[in-house]
Chain A
């Protein structure tokens, strides 16, 4: 299978839609087992490990995060939050077809709501994608919030 720029862009849009619609099993299935979802705390942060991040989650933690959302005693999700991504057409920054490795850069607005509260985050998502067994998968995802160093209330779902 050859991967086109449109395939990459469609993939990014499809992922955002899965998150908006809460199709988390499908979403987890997009990931390669060694992947990390990284949301830095600091602007242009380089080290995910030895300073604090907002998120730096492996598949175990992502699975836990997603399963928790449906728990009977998940009090902060009674009632449940909803989210909404508005994404700009992704840039394809790297396209190494021989290695099956691709990097996209996507600006988006993320809205999350629960009860009477609603907030907006502006962010840039960087996806490292790999072609494995004919399927595009997420190898790593980095989400840089425009106001990463601001004080936030609960951010409960995933940008």
Chain B
């Protein structure tokens, strides 16, 4: 029996301040409603425009469970279309990237469409004469999503025709994306190679919450980061000795609680937030020769310093991405089922910056977020254990109350102790808002 469909009150009741009901993670009906409402009403990351640099270049992906194509149109703008032929439903493109020239051509019956989706031609069109084709959905061509916004190369889309604007949805949270892009002396990023693709048998929100969970690294990652520190000591080095890049990356995971408390967490309206307000695990990387000089040339010394002194740790853009500005990484948590999530981890090259920065970024990505990563292994283990553990009856609520305060107002930007779970509560506050925004109440049942 449907408990949550057309029942915004029941959906809202899943979140009650200090805790959330397990159904947000395990219930297939809630998952379907997320796809229908949450992922339609919010601005969801699609891709980076450097993935489609030339006219006709396309990239296939999904927004929630909706298959879409991101394509560079003949006017050089990025379009996002549903990846479905309006004729019989065939996916128009099946490869992850390619160039389609000036038009898409469906491989089934050769209906063709301009790269903005408009119907171009149908073979043997006389067969439709007098049949009222112009009134059909099919004659409208490939359907475009509700709205698209390209912010400094990062392409977001809202599936719903109407809803919150891009600027209102993100607001000042865009400062993290700004910092990541500003780290290029040219103010531009380019995607560096394909993403890691890591399959998780758990709910997508567990991954998003983990991005600002600062009380797990020293526990869950003791086996990797702790062992690294141990080996380093056995090799005769002390903590203050210069470390190779791999040690610079992994050692800070073992920082004590105090480090994470002091790093601070900032929350913004609509579910966005970040760790590392004052410092972060990325603060003490060695300088790459020549980089600061290039930044000073581009921005002047004062602004260059300001950009590089901002070392935000993880910024969550609700609903389902995280970026790391200081290492130019973006991770997207793609929901596939209530208990299945595909994580894609992209890295970007800072245009006009030394290659060594890209090398460090690539090293971070593979060391921490690959299916072969000794850090990722323990994270996945925790998520999958939680997904299974939540089935235990008699305890139906998940606790998110660390540093909870009465009457928290998520519409105001706040900076708090770095171990607060306020950002998790912020996400669930936004979750209720965008889940129920387009939900109509069922007619009174008899």
A: residues with CB less than 8 A from B are 39, 41-42, 45, 49-56, 58, 60-61, 63-65, 67-68, 71, 73-77, 149-156
B62 at the interface (CB under 8 A from A): no
| B223 x A71 contact (CB < 8 A) | yes
| A53 x B228 contact (CB < 8 A) | no
In the assembled complex, the CB of B362 is this many whole angstroms from the nearest CB of chain A, namely 5
B244 at the interface (CB under 8 A from A): yes
In the assembled complex, the CB of A82 is this many whole angstroms from the nearest CB of chain B, namely 15
7 closest Cβ pairs, A-B complex: A51-B193, A152-B371, A74-B223, A151-B197, A76-B381, A76-B377, A151-B199
B117-166 residues with Cβ-Cβ distance < 8 A to A are none
In the assembled complex, the CB of A86 is this many whole angstroms from the nearest CB of chain B, namely 20
| A49 x B371 contact (CB < 8 A) | no
- 19 of the cross-chain contacts (CB-CB < 8 Å) are A41-B193, A41-B370, A45-B193, A49-B362, A50-B362, A52-B196, A52-B365, A53-B370, A55-B372, A56-B366, A60-B246, A64-B231, A68-B223, A74-B378, A75-B223, A75-B378, A76-B223, A154-B376, A155-B372
Contact flag A52-B193 (CB < 8 Å), given A60-B244, A64-B374, A151-B342: yes
Q: How many Å lie between the Cα of A66 and that of B18 in the bound state? A: 41
Who on chain A is nearest to B346 by CB?
A52
Q: How many Å lie between the Cα of A51 and that of B329 in the bound state? A: 12
Could you tell me the dominant secondary structure of chain B's interface residues?
helix
Who on chain B is nearest to A74 by CB?
B223
Q: How many Å lie between the Cα of A45 and that of B193 in the bound state? A: 10
Q: How many Å lie between the Cα of A151 and that of B347 in the bound state? A: 17
| A50 x B231 contact (CB < 8 A) | no
B226-275 residues with Cβ-Cβ distance < 8 A to A are 226-228, 230-231, 244, 246-247
Q: How many Å lie between the Cα of A42 and that of B347 in the bound state? A: 14
Q: How many Å lie between the Cα of A52 and that of B366 in the bound state? A: 6
Who on chain B is nearest to A43 by CB?
B194
In the assembled complex, the CB of B376 is this many whole angstroms from the nearest CB of chain A, namely 7
| A153 x B380 contact (CB < 8 A) | yes
Cβ contacts under 8 Å, A156 to chain B: 377
| A68 x B374 contact (CB < 8 A) | yes
B179-214 residues with Cβ-Cβ distance < 8 A to A are 192-201
B222 at the interface (CB under 8 A from A): yes
B174 at the interface (CB under 8 A from A): no
Who on chain B is nearest to A78 by CB?
B381
Given A51-B362, A60-B244, A154-B377, 8 additional A-B pairs, CB 8 A: A41-B366, A50-B192, A51-B192, A52-B192, A52-B195, A53-B362, A64-B231, A76-B380
Cβ contacts under 8 Å, A51 to chain B: 192-194, 347, 362
Who on chain B is nearest to A150 by CB?
B197
B220 at the interface (CB under 8 A from A): yes
| B194 x A54 contact (CB < 8 A) | no
B382 at the interface (CB under 8 A from A): yes
B359 at the interface (CB under 8 A from A): yes
Number of residue pairs across A and B with beta carbons under 8 Å? 117
Question: Which of B192, B226, B347, B372 touches A54 (beta carbons < 8 Å)?
Answer: B372
Q: How many Å lie between the Cα of A49 and that of B366 in the bound state? A: 10
In the assembled complex, the CB of B265 is this many whole angstroms from the nearest CB of chain A, namely 25
Question: Which of A39, A50, A52, A63 touches B355 (beta carbons < 8 Å)?
Answer: A50
Cβ contacts under 8 Å, A75 to chain B: 220, 223, 378, 381-382
Q: How many Å lie between the Cα of A60 and that of B234 in the bound state? A: 12
Cβ contacts under 8 Å, B436 to chain A: none
B52 at the interface (CB under 8 A from A): no
B115 at the interface (CB under 8 A from A): no
Q: How many Å lie between the Cα of A30 and that of B67 in the bound state? A: 48
Cβ contacts under 8 Å, A55 to chain B: 366, 370, 372
Q: How many Å lie between the Cα of A64 and that of B251 in the bound state? A: 12
| A52 x B358 contact (CB < 8 A) | no
Cβ contacts under 8 Å, A60 to chain B: 231, 244, 246-247
Question: Which of B192, B198, B231 touches A151 (beta carbons < 8 Å)?
Answer: B198
| A54 x B199 contact (CB < 8 A) | no
In the assembled complex, the CB of A122 is this many whole angstroms from the nearest CB of chain B, namely 16
B224 at the interface (CB under 8 A from A): yes
**Could you give, for residues 354-389 of chain B, a 1 whenever the CB lies within 8 Å of some chain A CB and a 0 otherwise?**
010011001101110011101011101110000000
B345 at the interface (CB under 8 A from A): yes
Q: How many Å lie between the Cα of A61 and that of B246 in the bound state? A: 8
B13-48 residues with Cβ-Cβ distance < 8 A to A are none
| A73 x B231 contact (CB < 8 A) | no
| B380 x A41 contact (CB < 8 A) | no
B349 at the interface (CB under 8 A from A): yes
Cβ contacts under 8 Å, B381 to chain A: 75-76, 154
| B223 x A149 contact (CB < 8 A) | no
| B374 x A65 contact (CB < 8 A) | yes
Cβ contacts under 8 Å, B347 to chain A: 51-52
In the assembled complex, the CB of B398 is this many whole angstroms from the nearest CB of chain A, namely 19
Q: How many Å lie between the Cα of A63 and that of B235 in the bound state? A: 12
Cβ contacts under 8 Å, B349 to chain A: 50
Who on chain A is nearest to B362 by CB?
A52
| B201 x A153 contact (CB < 8 A) | yes
B377-427 residues with Cβ-Cβ distance < 8 A to A are 377-378, 380-382
Q: How many Å lie between the Cα of A49 and that of B347 in the bound state? A: 12
Q: How many Å lie between the Cα of A81 and that of B409 in the bound state? A: 46
Cβ contacts under 8 Å, B362 to chain A: 49-53
Q: How many Å lie between the Cα of A68 and that of B230 in the bound state? A: 11
Cβ contacts under 8 Å, A73 to chain B: 222-223, 226
In the assembled complex, the CB of A37 is this many whole angstroms from the nearest CB of chain B, namely 10
Q: How many Å lie between the Cα of A60 and that of B235 in the bound state? A: 10
Who on chain A is nearest to B228 by CB?
A64
